[in-house]
C-alpha cells in the first residue's frame, strides 16, 4: 500500500531555509521544488535511494509511482484586510503586500504539482498587532531606553481549521485503508489526535520535524518514527 504525506504549510515555510538552503525561500517555484524533494526523500525508503538521486533541476517532477498516494498541503489564505499601524496610524492594505502576493503565488505553484492537494483553512478574524520577538528582547534588556516604533510590531494571526482538516483526512485515509504509512510534516501538538487515530488503525506514522528541536513532546511520543529531511543528504537514516 502507498504512503500519504501531510504537510503543515506554515511550519514547512518556517523551516524551509534550514532544510533547503539551495532553494530561494521567497520564490514560489523554489517552495514547490522543496516540497517535491521532501516527498521523494521519504519515498526513497520505500523504493530505494535512486528515487532521490535522479532528482535534478530538470527532473523535479513527482514520478508516476504506486508508492505515493497523495500529498496534502495545509495552509491559510493570506491576510487581506486593511489595518492601521499601532503608533502612527498609517493605513496598510495587507492584500497588496509582498507577503500576500507570495502566499497566493506559492499556493498556485503547489496546486500545479502532481498528486498534491491544497487544503486551505482560514485566519482568525481578530488579528491584532503585537511586539515582534526581537523588539520584545530589546525591551526586556533595556526597558528604560526602549522606544517602540511601528517597525517593532507584527500582525498576530492564528490559523483556524487546519488541524481539523488534517484530522478528517487522516480519518478518511485510515478507515478506508487507502494507505499503510502516513508522513506528518509538522511540530505542533494540535496534530496529536490525528497521529493517535492513525496508529490505532494500524498505520505506520512517521513524523518529519525538519530539524526542529522544539517539536511538541506529545507529538514526538505518539508516532512510530522520526525523520528530519535535510538537503543535500539524499537518503534518510531510520531513527
Domains of the chain in start order, with CATH, are: 3-125+159-227 (3.40.50.1010)
Between the alpha carbon of residue 68 and those of residues 14, 42, 170, 229, the distances in Å are 25, 10, 15, 17
The confidence score (pLDDT) of residue 160 equals 79
The confidence score (pLDDT) of residue 186 equals 94
The confidence score (pLDDT) of residue 50 equals 63
The confidence score (pLDDT) of residue 63 equals 59
In whole angstroms, what is the distance from residue 221 CA to residue 207 CA? 10
Residue 215 dihedral angles phi and psi, to the nearest 5°: -60, 140
User: Mean pLDDT per segment of 10 residues, for the chain of length 239 residues?
Assistant: 94 92 88 90 78 53 76 92 88 88 95 93 80 92 91 83 90 94 94 94 95 92 91 48
Please, what is the end-to-end C-alpha distance for the chain in angstroms? 22
Angle among Cα 201, 204, 230 to the nearest 5 degrees reads 145
Spell out where the chain has E strands.
3-8, 68-75, 82-84, 91-93, 116-120, 122-123, 128-131, 153-156, 159-160, 181-185, 204-208, 225-227
* Helix 162-175 and helix 192-200, axial crossing angle in degrees, nearest 10: 0
In whole angstroms, what is the distance from residue 37 CA to residue 215 CA? 22
In whole angstroms, what is the distance from residue 198 CA to residue 175 CA? 9
Given a contact cutoff of 8 angstroms between Cβ atoms, the answer to whether 121 and 76 are in contact is yes
In whole angstroms, what is the distance from residue 200 CA to residue 67 CA? 22
Amino acid at each position: 500500500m502507498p504512503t500519504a504525506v501531510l504537510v503543515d504549510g506554515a511550519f514547512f515555510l518556517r523551516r524551509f531555509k534550514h532544510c533547503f538552503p539551495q532553494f530561494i525561500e521567497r520564490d514560489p517555484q523554489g517552495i514547490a521544488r522543496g516540497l517535491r524533494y521532501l516527498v521523494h526523500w521519504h519515498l526513497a525508503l520505500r523504493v530505494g535511494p535512486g528515487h532521490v538521486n535522479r532528482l535534478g533541476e530538470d527532473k523535479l517532477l513527482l514520478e508516476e509511482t504506486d508508492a505515493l498516494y497523495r500529498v496534502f498541503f495545509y495552509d491559510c489564505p493570506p491576510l487581506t484586510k486593511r489595518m492601521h499601524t499601532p503608533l502612527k496610524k498609517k493605513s496598510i492594505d495587507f492584500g497588496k503586500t509582498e507577503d500576500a502576493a507570495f502566499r497566493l503565488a506559492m499556493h498556485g505553484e503547489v496546486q500545479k504539482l502532481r498528486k498534491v492537494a491544497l487544503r486551505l483553512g482560514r485566519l482568525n478574524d481578530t488579528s491584532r498587532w503585537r511586539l515582534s520577538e526581537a523588539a520584545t528582547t530589546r525591551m526586556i534588556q533595556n526597558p528604560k531606553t526602549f522606544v517602540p516604533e511601528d517597525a517593532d510590531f507584527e500582525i498576530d494571526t492564528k490559523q483556524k481549521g487546519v488541524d481539523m482538516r488534517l484530522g478528517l483526512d487522516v480519518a478518511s485515509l485510515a478507515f478506508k485503508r487507502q494507505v499503510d504509512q502516513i508522513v506528518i510534516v509538522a511540530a505542533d501538538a494540535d496534530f496529536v489526535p490525528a497521529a493517535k487515530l492513525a496508529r490505532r488503525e494500524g498505520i505506520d506514522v512517521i513524523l518529519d520535524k525538519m530539524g526542529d528541536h522544539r517539536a511538541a513532546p506529545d507529538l514526538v511520543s505518539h508516532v512510530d518514527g522520526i525523520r528530519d529531511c535535510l538537503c543535500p543528504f539524499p537518503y534518510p537514516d531510520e531513527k
